[in-house]
Amino acid sequence: MKKLTLLILFFSLQFTAQENEYTLGMLMDQNKYESIELTAPLTTRSLDNLPSNYSLKAYAPTPKSQGRQPSCVGWASGYGARTISFAIKNKWKNNIYKINQNTFSPAFVYNMIKGKTDYACKQGSYVGDAMQLIKNSGILKLSDFQYTQTSCGAKPSESLLKIASKNKIESYIRLARWDNPSNLALKVKKAISNNNPVVIGMRISSTFYKAKGTWSGLQSGSIGGHAMVVVGYDDYKDGGAFEILNSWGTKWGNNGYIWVKYNDFEKYTKTAYVMVDKIEKPEPKTIALKGSMRFQLSNGTTMPATLSPDATRNFSIVAATKSTYKLTNSYSSGTQFRLFFNSAKAAYVYLIGYGSSDKSISPIYPFDNYSAYFGYTKSEVAIPSEDYFIEMDQNPGRDILCILYSTKKIDINAVVSKLKQTNGDFTTKVKTILKPYIYEGKDITFENNLIAFTAKSTNSNAAIVPLFIEVNHK
């Protein structure tokens, strides 16, 4: 009954559509939202020292109106975020003509995800469904699939679906939990400053209809769900505010945009999504992957590591059992520590643990319901977290941590399952299973006294750099 009440609350798509000029259209459901993978759990320091202002507005199309159709989800995800990401990828900054010529179709999204029996185009839709559609099927340009507010029955032909498939995204992630932690604004700022437009779902009322400059944050009357796109922020705008692209045309707000103060944003924003594009194949001899890892005791002391002899040569030899790095000191049972990793290039990051005493193999990262995608600069993740430590158990031996940096998504559970079913030592098994996609040692540069690497590739199939860190558990 609670879930039904929640749906009814946000199903007030148009409030009283006959009385108001603008229409909403976003459905919200907590379980549906929280089934989507979370972005990487960055450390607190990673959210510090962000630029005081940042904007993607120079890549945004001219705001248009959804009219009376409850299709804001299609406008926010397709016309807004997908178009902005495409413009950024093609470096069309301030080229409004080029951007407007290449906008994506809100009708393609809305018509495909709305209720099958909603012939009158009166029902809203979920952003998660829009993201899944663009991931699985792609999206058409507006020039190939026109929008009309009075009709939503048109579906793309097979030939058009083939064209749409060229515009797929790799995946999508959510930035926060449903209950919106106090650092939601920081997470959105982090995404924006890394050139990611953020599709949001806000609870708004009729006060939003007449908003100008910066929205007052006051609500009056019925509240409904509305999807929009965050395109920028400014810490000095009314004490800190986000600039948001709406789908109500240029006569609304500030030529189609509105500012929302951070506090009001965190109060009324229930959902926040970021699209993840496919990581493009790097140009030959350019940096494709670059990352580092560090170990730290519970007292804050660094656990030093040393590069293994012949690490580069052994890297390409599947049967070579030596680790890439080895922690310089030995550590006894009960030692508490945590580890940190970062990636200077967009990558998917995975960690697998191996204990020689019981031959156990376990996936460590990503955590359950978190994405392996790491697309942030000057950032790191703490494992297990900033609040807890890993404690060495009572089984001494040669423990190995394998961290995989990859430009492609990996089914890490399938890899772990295969490792458990395969005979041989741990490092050899990992190399054997991933061999077709592993970079060659000659294309990787390792740091000597720091667990860090840079990979340049001339092999178009190369996608993964596995690092093996040995820990002597005495």
Q: Which of 174-188, 341-355, 452-466 has the highest mean pLDDT?
A: 341-355
pLDDT over threshold 70, residue 60? yes
Segment 255-312, tens digit of pLDDT: 999 999 999 999 999 999 999 999 988 788 889 999 999 999 999 999 999 998 877 7
Which of 232-236, 369-373, 385-389, 439-443 is predicted least confidently? 439-443
Instruction: Note the pLDDT of residue 314.
Output: 67
d(CA 5, CA 10): 9
pLDDT of residue 284: 81
Q: What is the pLDDT of residues 228-254, one digit of tens each?
A: 999 999 999 999 999 999 999 999 999
Query: 362-370, long-range: CB within 8 Å, 24+ apart, which pairs?
Result: 362/416, 363/412, 363/413, 363/416, 364/401, 366/37, 366/40, 366/412, 367/41, 369/34, 369/35, 369/37, 369/38, 370/37, 370/38, 370/39, 370/40, 370/41
- CA distances (Å), 356 to each of 283, 327, 400, 472, in order? 40, 16, 8, 10
Assess whether pLDDT exceeds 90 at residue 426.
yes
> Could you give the domains of the chain?
2-276 (3.90.70.10), 287-473 (no CATH)
> 405: pLDDT confidence band, cut at 50, 70 and 90?
very high
Q: What is the pLDDT of residue 321?
A: 66
Phi, psi of 446 (to 5 degrees): -105, 145
Which band of pLDDT confidence, cut at 50, 70 and 90, is reported for residue 11? very low
Distance between CA atoms of residues 462 and 467, nearest Å: 15
Residue 446 has pLDDT above 70, yes or no: yes
pLDDT at 185 over 60: yes
pLDDT of residue 460: 74
State the pLDDT at residue 8: 38
User: If pLDDT is split at 50, 70 and 90, which confidence band does 116 have?
Assistant: confident
Residue 312's CB is within 10 A of a number of other CB atoms, namely 17
**Per residue in 284-302, is it b (16+ CB within 10 Å) or e — as a string?**
eeeebbbbbbbbeeeeeee
Q: Report the percentage of the chain scoring pLDDT > 90.
A: 80
Task: Determine phi and psi for 17, rounding to 5 degrees.
Answer: -55, -35
Contact yes or no for 333/392 (Cβ under 8 A): yes
* Structural tokens at position 466: 């596995």
Q: Which of 435, 446, 430, 464 is nearest to 292 (CA)?
A: 446
Average pLDDT, the chain: 91
Cβ atoms of residues 160 and 144 within 8 Å: yes
Beta-strand ranges (E) seen in 246-344 are: 257-261, 269-276, 287-297, 305-307, 325-327, 336-343
Lowest mean pLDDT among 241-255, 362-376, 428-442: 428-442
Whether the per-residue pLDDT at 474 is higher than 80: the answer is yes
pLDDT at 347 over 60: yes
β-bridge mates for residue 438, sequence order? 464
Average pLDDT value for residue range 317-327? 78
Residue 443 has pLDDT above 60, yes or no: yes
Which is higher by pLDDT, 317 or 370? 370
The arithmetic mean of pLDDT across residues 151-180, rounded, is: 94
Per residue in 13-57, pLDDT (tens digit) is 444 443 468 999 999 999 999 999 999 999 999 999 899 999 999
- Residue 9 pLDDT: 40
Q: How far apart are CA 346 and CA 339, in angstroms?
A: 20
